[in-house]
Chain A
Amino acid sequence: MRLLIVEDDAEAAAYLTKAFREAGHVADHAGDGLEGYAMAEGGGYDVLVVDRMLPRLDGLSLIRSLREQKDATPALILSALAQVDDRVKGLRAGGDDYLPKPYAFSELLARVEVLARRRGAPASEPTTYRVGDLDLDRLAHRVTRGGTEILLQPREFRLLEYLMKHAGQVVTRTMLLENVWDYHFDPQTNVIDVHVSRLRAKVDKGFEHPMIHTIRGAGYMVRDTAR
């Protein structure tokens, strides 16, 4: 994955570039908004990571300008502002995701990878997901593993659906709260962990290979470990 980091703080940018490269991605860096715009316009990036406050051209304007050029490269906005309305403003300007500073790199990485994947995905979502012997039918609301039906509560179903949609990718707790429960605040406690462990009890119990994995320091991942 090729990504462009537009960040004026040289130290933060160096840290991000290094961390993304260690995660196996190609990361370029632009030090201000105009340079970032020129590089992004050149194209070829899978994801843009844009700081909101930049010299010469601020992050929101940069993204808005790109969108006006019909450039739909996914963009994640980093911001030190965490006002209640800031996320809305960021998304309205054409950003695809919004992460307030300070953030954990694992959170940023997980979100960027989801954005990059979304770009390659077909416009319409498939009606079924399959990971190993685990099947989820979105229309029939049915989950089977190895042919045996697993009965799930509606919320558990949505949780598994989101995990399976991003199978092979790390999904953080905040991403789950945002996408399954549609809340953007920090629940402060391990509520998500409890939900995941309940789901895990239904999906993995009695099977040799677990499907739902805890990724330490990051979140969860659905992955087939049978092979």
Chain B
Amino acid sequence: MRIGAVTFPGTLDDSDTIRAIKASGAEAVALWHGDADLKGVDAVILPGGFSYGDYLRAGAIARFAPVMGEIITAARGGLPVLGICNGFQVLCEAGLLPGALLRNAGLHFVCRDQWLKVENNATAWSSRYEAGAEIIIPIKNMDGRFAAPKSVVDELEGEGRVVFRYAGLNPNGSTDDIAGISDPTGRIVGLMPHPEHAIDALTGPSDDGLGMFLSVLDSVVAA
């Protein structure tokens, strides 16, 4: 089982994502933004950070990187893709997920341990959780407020594509407390919180995040 983690210039949590992939028992494969080559991986993770400095709009430039062309094609063909934080922003910019991530309501960067409710455990990245489970995972971002037209939000809610929802205090003013969503197939998921920073209670608030990395292994085996 080989899972890729993409590094753009300005990506920050790539080494943490690789650590989490290894902790799940899979082989981690580093993918480079400038190479249009997925090295035959079984799934791809776009880690957090500030790709290309995010000076234009979070994720707006990364979406055009050579590696993204391959990822977009493969994702449309069913490759499981997880976007974390900046990776979620990139997936929205690339049109693989709907909506956009706006500046946090408080206009500050927010780093805190965040409770999430698992709303949908039928996706490639959430099958290891009980439906309705509450998990605690760090959130850390400046632009984390999910927004989309009402029709899109209604569709997401109606189709059960809200995968994770903020429990307790909403940290950024996100619509409907949405923390993470999926595409219609459930194979592409994006979320703002950082599961890779919750794989060991020594360095994170819990090991609740490991479930996402384990879930995808099941989904790849099942496929």
Instruction: Report if A and B associate in a common complex.
Output: no
A residues with a Cβ closer than 8 A to B are none
B residues with a Cβ closer than 8 A to A are none
